[in-house]
Amino acid sequence: MKVRRLIDAPIISAATDANLGENIQGPSLVRVPDWVDSLLGRYYLYFADHTGKLYPFGHARAVLSFQGWALQLGGGPALV
């Protein structure tokens, strides 16, 4: 595995959407496997609010997407 810093800023932050809250916890970036039929994007970003009130989910065509990450505040699809 090779890890490389892409930018000097987080992919997702409280500034991304006012509904996210100030304390985003445990972001996990997943490249969606080719066998998934109904892709929302090539990359899924799962994360949570520290208070546990939200389970947001983001998706994008590329990690550094020009159009940004589309967010779904109600949670995202399961990968299995």
Residues 4-10 have a mean pLDDT of 73
* Confidence (pTM): 0.72
Domain ranges across the chain: 26-72
Please, what sign has the CA dihedral across residues 8, 23, 21, 58? positive
Tracing tokens 């969606």 back to the chain, one arrives at 32
Residue 78 binned pLDDT confidence (cut-offs 50, 70, 90): low
Determine contact, residues 44/12, Cβ cutoff 8 Å.
no
Residues 1-28 have a mean pLDDT of 77
